[in-house]
Amino acid sequence: YAKHDPKFASRLFEPGMDERRLRSQKLAVALQLAIENDELNLVYQPIFRLDGGHIESLEALLRWHSAEHGHISPLEIIAVAEHHGLAHQLNQWVLLSACRQLKHWHQQGHGWLKVNVNISPEIFMSGELGSTVKTVLQRTGLPASALVLEITEDTSLWDTAGSIDNLARLRQLGVEIALDDFGTGYSSFSHLRQLPVNKLKIDKSFVSDLTTDSRAADLVHTIIRLAESLDMEVTAEGIELPEQQQHLQRLGCQLGQGYLLARPLPASQVADWLQQDLQRYTPAG
Ligand code: C2E
Ligand code: MG
Ligand code: MG
Ligand code: MG
Percent of the chain with pLDDT over 90: 74
Kindly tell me if the per-residue pLDDT of 8 is higher than 60: no
The predicted structure's pLDDT at residue 59: 98
- Beta carbon of 256 within 6 Å of any ligand 1 atom: no
The predicted structure's pLDDT at residue 4: 58
Kindly tell me if the per-residue pLDDT of 2 is higher than 60: no
Top pLDDT among 243 and 275 is at 243
| pTM, entire model | 0.92
**Cα–Cα–Cα angle for 155, 158, 163, rounded to 5 degrees:** 105
- Beta carbon of 237 within 6 Å of any ligand 1 atom: yes
Percent of the chain with pLDDT over 70: 88
Q: Per-residue confidence at 14, pLDDT binned at 50, 70, 90?
A: low
Query: Chain-centre distance of CA 102, in angstroms?
Result: 16
State how far the Cα of 207 lies from the Cα of 239, in Å rounded to an integer. 6
Report the candidate in 42, 79, 84 with the shortest Cα–Cα distance to residue 64: 42
- Beta carbon of 240 within 6 Å of any ligand 1 atom: yes
- Beta-carbon neighbours within 5 Å of ion ligand 2: 118, 150, 180
Q: Whose CA is nearest to atom 42 of ligand 1?
A: 118
Within 10 A of 281 (CB to CB), how many other CB atoms are there? 14
The predicted structure's pLDDT at residue 66: 95
| Each residue's pLDDT tens digit, 155-170 | 566 666 778 888 899 9
Q: Decide: 75 and 36 in contact? Cβ < 8 Å.
A: no
Q: Whose CA is nearest to atom 37 of ligand 1?
A: 61
Provide the β-strand partners of residue 201. 235
Report the candidate in 8, 86, 41 with the shortest Cα–Cα distance to residue 267: 41
Region 204-212 average pLDDT: 95
Q: Which of 90-99, 187-196, 236-245 has the lowest mean pLDDT?
A: 187-196
CA of 153 to the centre of ligand 3 (A): 9
The mean predicted confidence, pLDDT, of the chain is 90
Region 166-178 average pLDDT: 94
Q: Per-residue confidence at 280, pLDDT binned at 50, 70, 90?
A: confident
Kindly tell me if the per-residue pLDDT of 93 is higher than 70: yes
CA of 59 to the centre of ligand 2 (A): 7
- Beta carbon of 82 within 6 Å of any ligand 1 atom: no
CA of 180 to the centre of ligand 4 (A): 7
Q: Whose CA is nearest to atom 15 of ligand 1?
A: 258
CA of 249 to the centre of ligand 3 (A): 19
Which three-class secondary structure string do you get for 160-202?
Answer: CHHHHHHHHHHHHHCCEEEEEEECCCCCCHHHHHHCCCCEEEE
CA of 152 to the centre of ligand 2 (A): 7
| Each residue's pLDDT tens digit, 224-254 | 999 999 999 999 999 999 999 999 999 999 9
Length in residues, the chain: 285
Kindly tell me if the per-residue pLDDT of 260 is higher than 90: yes
CA of 143 to the centre of ligand 1 (A): 25
Report the candidate in 152, 36, 24 with the shortest Cα–Cα distance to residue 83: 24
Kindly tell me if the per-residue pLDDT of 154 is higher than 90: no
Q: How many CA atoms lie within 13 A of 91 on its CB side?
A: 27
DSSP code for 156: S
Top pLDDT among 249 and 152 is at 249
The predicted structure's pLDDT at residue 162: 79
- Four-CA torsion 207, 208, 209, 212, nearest 10 degrees: 110
- Beta carbon of 67 within 6 Å of any ligand 1 atom: no
- Beta carbon of 55 within 6 Å of any ligand 1 atom: no
Kindly tell me if the per-residue pLDDT of 13 is higher than 70: no
Atom of ligand 1 nearest to the CA of 203: 3
Kindly tell me if the per-residue pLDDT of 3 is higher than 70: no
Top pLDDT among 106 and 276 is at 106
The predicted structure's pLDDT at residue 75: 96
In terms of average pLDDT, the best of 4-8, 103-107, 278-282 is 103-107
